[in-house]
Chain A
Amino acid sequence: MAGRVDIRDLSFGYTDKKEDSIFSDIHFSLEPGEVFCLLGPNGSGKSTLLKCISRVLTPASGSVAIDGENLNAMSPAKIAGKLGYVPQSLVSAFPFTVEEIVVMGRASRISMISSPSKQDRGKALESMEKIGIGHLARRPCNRLSGGEWQLVLIARALTQSPRILLLDEPTSHLDLGNQVKILEKVGSLSRDGITIIMASHFPDHAFLHADQVGILKNRSMAVSGKPDQVLTEEVLFSTYGIHIRVIEVLDGINRKICVPVLKKNESRGENP
């Protein structure tokens, strides 16, 4: 099966001291094509966890396995061939064109002393079309909007032909329209069979297409499981420290949504 993820006892700290541990004993598994939504308050270590899974950072202990193969034993190139990582933000020192950036995704499949072939560039173009940014191919990356940039990075990750895609808060810095576009792309990629782990600030996203959700808090995965079961109002309160109502919306939408409740009166004219 292509794209199964097994994470066991994963922990990380910037030093060896216990106080400096970012998280420990992280544990979950994903079937191919599943979507995992990672939630948690600011500073809980979501980005760090994603980086550990993709081995951009080296975990202190634990293992990550893709289709049974442990990433510990893999070279960076081999890992990149299976796993794509889309960072939250990225600044390029030089004004590469979108095309030049997206084709970077082929690095794991190009030998150290070569540069991208016609085929590689073809694949890059394919990814751009798939994401719907083909028209931006020759635009320098310093002239992209936040949303376009995010799409470019996703296209680049796709060029790696990965089985697994990690997305770090792909919708922050985006307006509503772009947010929805990204989320729709995530959904369609999942339907294509790519396993997705997406960190997010919005618990709503878990209800959109996540098969599993996990909340990272206090250095461990406080809860994990199916969103419908796991995301209760109590859990949300203990995670974010505010009242959040979980409401099922029918009328064609047919899913739950999260509504934060403000401390003051909701609207002006009502009785407290």
Chain B
Amino acid sequence: MTKSRILWAGLGILAFAFLIRVYLVHESKQAGVQGKTRTLTDMKGRTIEVTDPLKRIALLGGPTGQIAFILGVQDRLCAVTNTLKMSTLVREMYPRIADLPGPRTTSGSINIEELISSNPDIAVAGDIDGGIVLEKTRIPVAILEDSMGEGLVDIKKEIRFYAYVFNTPDRAEKYAAFLDRITGLVRERTKDIPENMKKKVFQGYNPSHLVTLGGDTFMQEHIELAGCLNAAETVTTLGTQTGLHSGLGEVSMEQVLDWNPDILVINSGNPEDLSEDPQWEKIKAVRDKQIYFQPAGIFIFNRPTAESAVIFPLWLASTAYPERFQDLCVNCLVKEFYKEIIGFDLSEAQVRDILSGVYEMKMMKGISHKG
């Protein structure tokens, strides 16, 4: 009996020693990037060392994928978020996306093996995803700071940060200039609308049409810019409710009836159902047939993305106050944006589909509900 116990104890010590050795090797291998290198500081102030130039880029996060197109580094992508792969518009305009691995599905869900196998020189990710990649791999990680409460200023800051990482500052400035131009245009045409004439907009997402973005989110700025009022302005939805992406919150039918919005923006179902629904038919937006599908392009617009920052206020303003935009070819501006900034030469039909929410409906199910 004792002899076998000694044997077991010995085996245990051997195994433990082996593991310590593996761990030490693991730790020592963390540092060490080959060839010409460059030191970066990410948005959290961490310094990382990466190869120069960055040839293989992994972008993890729903809103991040489009940045590659804005900055012209899409051919250097080696791993993306799954939703980018599923985006109909991207598949139409950049077929290569289908061949790229999509290891990240939602925040916190990363197939590490796939990510490692794609051999990135760098991974750009938010807090949670970044933490996972840091812990489990040796890939250099640049952590992004983003939140559902950020404004246009923050979007520009983010794009500039990406440009700094990928060394494409000109493209960033091109985007910033375009954003300022559109923002200025919209503001100019809506600035003199008296307060009591402003249209009240309610975003009613999900099949219940009761999930919305509150006054503390990025959507507030978008709506105000368009010269409208956010029906859910008084509601704070930053934070997390069970089952919803952070920043989204569910309100009650009572509140919507109380607000009685002029314009209703939905992302599922159809306007006919609402006009037949006894609860909804009394709402002004439903009576006036001012129900619209949320536009969507590369990605959905109920996240603070570079794309939505340009397109959404323009769309909302021209939809709410068509008389103020009659002389402007809104579709032309949209086409220009996608051609000059993103690099997509869209057809008239595609532009219409973006603005009328066709891509929203084609987007993979589950994006709008969760994250």
Residues of chain A whose beta carbon lies under 8 Å from any beta carbon of chain B: 114-115, 117
B residues contacting the other copy or chain, number (CB 8 A): 1
In Å, the complex CA distance between A114 and B1 comes to 8
In the complex, what residues of B have CB within 8 A of residue A114's CB? Answer: 1
In the complex, what residues of A have CB within 8 A of residue B1's CB? Answer: 114-115, 117
Q: Mark B208-248, 1 if CB is under 8 A from A, else 0.
A: 00000000000000000000000000000000000000000
Residues of chain B whose beta carbon lies under 8 Å from any beta carbon of chain A: 1
- List the B residue with the shortest CB-CB distance to A115: B1
In Å, the complex CA distance between A117 and B2 comes to 12
In Å, the complex CA distance between A115 and B1 comes to 9
A42 to B: closest C-beta gap in Å: 48
3 contacts across the A-B interface (CB closer than 8 A): A114-B1, A115-B1, A117-B1
In the complex, what residues of B have CB within 8 A of residue A117's CB? Answer: 1
In the complex, what residues of B have CB within 8 A of residue A115's CB? Answer: 1
In Å, the complex CA distance between A101 and B224 comes to 82
- List the A residue with the shortest CB-CB distance to B5: A113
B212 to A: closest C-beta gap in Å: 57
B8 to A: closest C-beta gap in Å: 13
In Å, the complex CA distance between A117 and B1 comes to 9
A106 to B: closest C-beta gap in Å: 15
B204 to A: closest C-beta gap in Å: 59
B114 to A: closest C-beta gap in Å: 47
A30 to B: closest C-beta gap in Å: 39
In Å, the complex CA distance between A114 and B4 comes to 13
In Å, the complex CA distance between A65 and B1 comes to 37
- List the B residue with the shortest CB-CB distance to A114: B1
A117 to B: closest C-beta gap in Å: 8
- List the A residue with the shortest CB-CB distance to B2: A114
A182 to B: closest C-beta gap in Å: 37
3 shortest interchain CB distances as A-B pairs = A114-B1, A117-B1, A115-B1
B108 to A: closest C-beta gap in Å: 43
B69 to A: closest C-beta gap in Å: 66
In Å, the complex CA distance between A159 and B1 comes to 22
B164 to A: closest C-beta gap in Å: 64
In Å, the complex CA distance between A163 and B162 comes to 87
A255 to B: closest C-beta gap in Å: 51
B3 to A: closest C-beta gap in Å: 14
In Å, the complex CA distance between A88 and B1 comes to 36
- List the B residue with the shortest CB-CB distance to A117: B1
In Å, the complex CA distance between A115 and B5 comes to 13
In Å, the complex CA distance between A114 and B2 comes to 10
In Å, the complex CA distance between A115 and B4 comes to 13
B5 to A: closest C-beta gap in Å: 9
A207 to B: closest C-beta gap in Å: 50
B259 to A: closest C-beta gap in Å: 64
